[in-house]
Amino acid sequence: MAIRVRLTLWYGGILALLLLLFGGTLYGILQGSLQAGVDRTLEETAEKVQSSVRRQIAVTPALNWAEVVTIPSLDVFAAPDVFVQVRDPQANLAVKSANLAGQELPGLSAVDWGPVLSGTVDLRTVEIGTVRLRLRSEPVLSQGRPVAVLQVAVSLRAMDDALHRLLALLLGGGSFGLVLAVLGGAFLAQQALSPIARVTETARRIAATEDLGERLTRPAVQDEVGQLVTTLNEMLDRLQRLFQGQQRFIADVSHELRTPLTAIRGNLEVLQRGARTDPALLAESLDDIDREVVRLSRMVADLLALARAEAGMRLERRPVELDRLLLETFREARHLARGVAVQLTGEDQAQVLGDADRLKQLLLNLVDNAFKYTPAGGTVSLALSRCGDWACLSVADTGTGIPEDELGYIFDRYYRGQSDRRRGGMGLGLSIAHWIAEEHGGRIEVESKVGEGTTFTVWLPLLEESAAVANHQSPIANHQSSIINRQS
């Protein structure tokens, strides 16, 4: 059932209930007060008759019922809607007011007659033909003896008429008001919910056309629906950015994968064309192919690491000898260096708990960057030292350096420096290195100076500390900045 219909039904139901409660209470109160008024009239009339009788008794103390009847005229006490009548103790009609004409007020049953004779006032509602009456019966006493029963009645026609009119007003006015309120409520609900219908329609169109550039129209008022539209538009902005980022990423990845493949194919063609017989050319081509294959493997490893990070996979945790790992990296790096000198400037022994393949990937990413951004003739230095409870791996180059305003972004995924946009690269290497370091309970720092070079330092908790670091934050991780720029 539509929200609009549900809202209207609830609204109508609650209003009907309230009207019913209000009408019922009003009717009850009015009926009670009218009846109390009638009872008061009965009591006052009866009292007038009784005091007349009492005056008579003062003259004739032993008054009997026949003498009560001689009271001048009951008509003195009667009024158009007030009737008076006297019965003898045997319940026979003695005298009545003239306005009763051919009728008489009904007697009481034997059961009720007794108590009235012994002093109880009887009040009840009776009917004569179509007329409802309120009837009061009470004894007339002389010297403590009941000598007659006085009956006074008031017609309830006026009260019934007033109550009927009120009921008609409540039912008619209430129903009319209810219909009006339900229609108004339905209209308001329709007005309030129509922007949602428009939002749904636009959202459907976006889904159908896959046009993430389209936005929902903001309603004039910033109410709940307006806020919903703003939030959805913000979500669409984000989705569009993510989607565009992903498209750019796919384009970059295919481009990056194609470049080494083209280089490999070129070198193979050179070999096919006869370079096999030229030892120098053969060595150079094989060297090129080897380098491109290493680059390809690194890219695939990066993509795999990215997929793992996205899937929230944890790394293996085994003891790893960092000095051996660094030596391996150093040997591989020498193959990759083209005109750049590679040196090992320090190598303490250090063991950490972690994943050897990922740690090597981290180092290779840093070394590969160092080569990429260091022109021929420069130097790349690798070092491992123990700094308290930490192992410090550093990769320093004498390359281009990183501008200060880019330092805050280089660890972001897909970020590539302004000057490197044409140089190639997927902007993944450092973000993956950062992820690997963090997964090992460590961190990466960078120091750079444009034109002089860059040093990346990886801090990893030593094996003895690894277990503790897994549970507690490292003291170094508490240091404020991971980026130290030495630009002067």
What is the closest distance, in whole angstroms, from the C-beta atom of residue 407 to ligand ADP in the complex? 9
What is the closest distance, in whole angstroms, from the C-beta atom of residue 428 to ligand ADP in the complex? 6
What's the distance, CA 293 to chain centroid?
52
Smaller CB distance to ligand ADP: residue 117 or 299? 299
Q: Interacting stretch for ligand ADP, rule CB under 6 A, among 85-93, 95-103, 112-120, 410-418?
A: 410-418
Q: Using CA atoms, how far apart are residues 333 and 426, in angstroms rounded to an integer?
A: 20
User: Which of 133, 154, 426, 469 lies at the binding interface for ligand ADP (CB under 6 A)?
Assistant: 426
Q: Specify whether the CB–CB gap between 245 and 410 falls below 8 A.
A: no
Which residues, 442 to 471, sit near ligand ADP by CB under 6 A?
Answer: 454
Q: Specify whether the CB–CB gap between 437 and 476 falls below 8 A.
A: no
Q: Which residues contact 172 (CB under 8 A, 6 or more apart)?
A: none
Q: Does 370 bind ligand ADP (CB under 6 A)?
A: yes
Query: How does DSSP assign 202-261, residue by residue?
Result: HHHHHHHHT-TT--PPPPSS-SHHHHHHHHHHHHHHHHHHHHHHHHHHHHHHHHHHHHHH
Q: Does 430 bind ligand ADP (CB under 6 A)?
A: yes
User: Which of 23, 146, 226, 417 lies at the binding interface for ligand ADP (CB under 6 A)?
Assistant: 417
Smaller CB distance to ligand ADP: residue 197 or 251? 251
Closest of 452, 450, 436 to residue 407, by C-alpha = 450
Q: Interacting stretch for ligand ADP, rule CB under 6 A, among 131-139, 216-224, 339-347, 417-425?
A: 417-425
Q: Interacting stretch for ligand ADP, rule CB under 6 A, among 23-31, 59-67, 305-313, 397-405?
A: 397-405
Q: Which residues contact 173 (CB under 8 A, 6 or more apart)?
A: none
Q: Does 415 bind ligand ADP (CB under 6 A)?
A: yes
In sequence order, what are the beta bridge partners of 140?
A: 148
Q: Interacting stretch for ligand ADP, rule CB under 6 A, among 53-61, 147-155, 283-291, 365-373?
A: 365-373
Q: Does 420 bind ligand ADP (CB under 6 A)?
A: yes
Three-state DSSP class for 444? strand
Token couple for 372: 């990429």
What is the closest distance, in whole angstroms, from the C-beta atom of residue 431 to ligand ADP in the complex? 6
Q: Does 402 bind ligand ADP (CB under 6 A)?
A: yes
Report which residue's Cβ sits closest to ligand ADP: 417
User: Which of 410, 437, 444, 469 lies at the binding interface for ligand ADP (CB under 6 A)?
Assistant: 410
Q: What angle do CA 58, 59, 60 make, to 5 degrees?
A: 95
# of chain residues touching ligand ADP (CB under 6 A): 20
Smaller CB distance to ligand ADP: residue 8 or 400? 400
Question: What counts of helices (H) and strands (E) characterise the chain?
Answer: 10, 13
Q: Which residues contact 446 (CB under 8 A, 6 or more apart)?
A: 402, 407, 410, 454, 455, 456, 457, 482, 483, 484
Chain positions contacting ligand ADP, by CB under 6 A: 369-370, 373, 397, 399-400, 402, 410, 415-417, 420, 425-431, 454
